[in-house]
Chains A and B, each alone.
Chain A
């Protein structure tokens, strides 16, 4: 019940395209859902986060879509650029379970 399942494991998108990464959770006590971007040898960087009171949040080229009934959330990267090539992790936490539970990661490659 503590798992966060992430897919796909790897993703190749052409420059200018839309990158979509999906996550699903089981613990209904989760109420905070961040996405992190990680480059090799670096710590994860917080990209964008959402709470269940909204179904979508957009910041620049990054959008989180959240489906509470399906217990799923996704990251959309619009106009994907080569600099977006990195590993992306979804995560979740909640009151009484305040640690971040991470997904397994998606290696995104943007090709010219």
Chain B
């Protein structure tokens, strides 16, 4: 398996523009997690899905952020409108939810580095 795939790897945009980040889960995994990593705040969980259903979105910063799973293998994270303070590395991770530690074994993608000017 190719692992978790994220696109784009780098995104530079101007304030006010819409940004869409994409993630393809590992085949057979049923849990999907979106994280944001910054120097100031570390790694923050934004939202996670189980079987395509959002379970906990308490980490989503505000209404400008939205995430969807249109099917079992794909997810998008959208920011509209984007702001400079959204600049960060965004990771998605997937998990099978099976095994002794459930969804604790998460497989991370390489991340998308977002810069909002």
Do A and B interact with each other, yes or no? no
